Amino acid sequence: MKRLGVNIDHVATIRNARGEYHPSPFDAAIFVSKLGADSVTIHLREDRRHINDLDAKKICSIKRLFINLEISTNSAIVKTALKIKPNYVCIVPENRKEITTEGGLNLIKNKTKIKKIISKLKKKKIRTSLFINPSLKDVRISKQLKTDCIEIHTGKLSNLVKSKKKYHNELDKIKKSAKLAKSLNIKVHAGHGLDYTTTKILNRIKEIEEFNIGHFLIGESVFFGMKKVIKNFKKIIR
């Protein structure tokens, strides 16, 4: 059975809008797990626009939860990850001017740096993931970097589907990337911009083991409640 990862960053976004303590990302992590989330994703950004250091530390201390911490290659952020020891660290590209992550890592440009980070994480027995574009070249480089997992950036596919444009070429790239990764013994996750429709489309790809969903899930929960929305996604991917 495929797994559902819930990104709770935007719980922190709502909290930060008032500069107070509610709603609590820590409570959200426990809550979504009870509702059926198989893992919890948080992104500790360099500008701390949603999740902050204390959030990350507290959430990663919940041993009964499977925590996926997204980080950039920033040395200070890497040190924090090594200290709080999440189950997974997913290395992502980061631009402070972006609203959300705009694509996968540039593995060629950052190969040496990423390799060193992966080595440090593995020494701490932290599993590693790389957020990449659907590219056979990037999958092969990921193998060279000895990552445990890749998360395929699905933002372009999602935008094409939502705009009712032809998306089959992008879907084919994702299929081929997932298949190659699986053949190389790399676990395959997928995420970014996913909603019910795009998750249904991607669920047909057997190599994808986990979907990480945040913005749409939190947004739908405003209207229908987290319990119902998580249940809907679990029905799609089971």
* pLDDT tier at 98, thresholds 50, 70, 90: low
Distance of CA 223 to the CA centre of its chain: 24
Task: Given the residues 10, 153, 189, 192, select the one marked as catalytic.
Answer: 192
Using an 8 Å Cβ cutoff, are 129 and 88 in contact?
A: yes
Annotated catalytic residue 220: no
- Cα separation values, 79 from 71, 137, 191, 224, Å: 10, 29, 25, 39
How many whole angstroms separate alpha carbon 190 and alpha carbon 132?
10
pLDDT value of position 101: 59
- For residues 16-31, give the mean pLDDT: 95
| End-to-end alpha carbon distance in the chain | 6
As a whole number, mean pLDDT of residues 88-117 equals: 85
Mean pLDDT of 179-193: 98
When pLDDT is cut at 50, 70 and 90, the band that residue 63 belongs to is: confident
Q: Which residue has the higher pLDDT, 63 or 12?
A: 12
Residue 220: closest CA among 203, 199, 189:
199
Query: HSE-up of 174 (CA within 13 Å, CB side)?
Result: 30
Determine what percent of the chain is predicted with pLDDT higher than 70.
97
- Indicate the pLDDT class of residue 69, thresholds 50, 70 and 90: very high
Whether pLDDT at 139 is above 90: yes
Query: Tokens 């041993």 label which residue?
Result: 63
H/E element, 228: helix 226-237
Question: How far apart are alpha carbons 3 and 37 in whole angstroms?
Answer: 8
Whole-number Å distance between alpha carbons of 208 and 182: 9
pLDDT at 226: 97
- Total Cβ atoms within 10 A of residue 122: 14
Q: Measured between alpha carbons, how far is 69 from 42 in angstroms, rounded to an integer?
A: 5
Catalytic annotation present for 94: no
Tell me the mean pLDDT in the region 131-136: 97
**192 tagged catalytic:** yes
Q: Which domain holds residue 37?
A: 3-237
Q: In the structure, what pLDDT confidence band is assigned to residue 103 with cuts at 50, 70 and 90? A: confident
CATH number (domain holding residue 149): 3.20.20.70
Average pLDDT of the chain, as a whole number = 95
Please give the residue that has the higher pLDDT: either 20 or 235.
235
Choose, from 70, 94, 151, 170, the residue flagged as catalytic.
Answer: 70
Q: What mean pLDDT comes out for the span 112-120?
A: 97
Q: What average pLDDT does the segment 111-123 reach?
A: 97
Average pLDDT over residues 49-59: 95
Of 10, 43, 50, 189, the active-site residue reads 43
pLDDT mean over 199-218? 98
Structural contact between residues 126 and 86, judged by C-beta atoms closer than 8 angstroms? yes
Number of folded domains that form the chain: 1
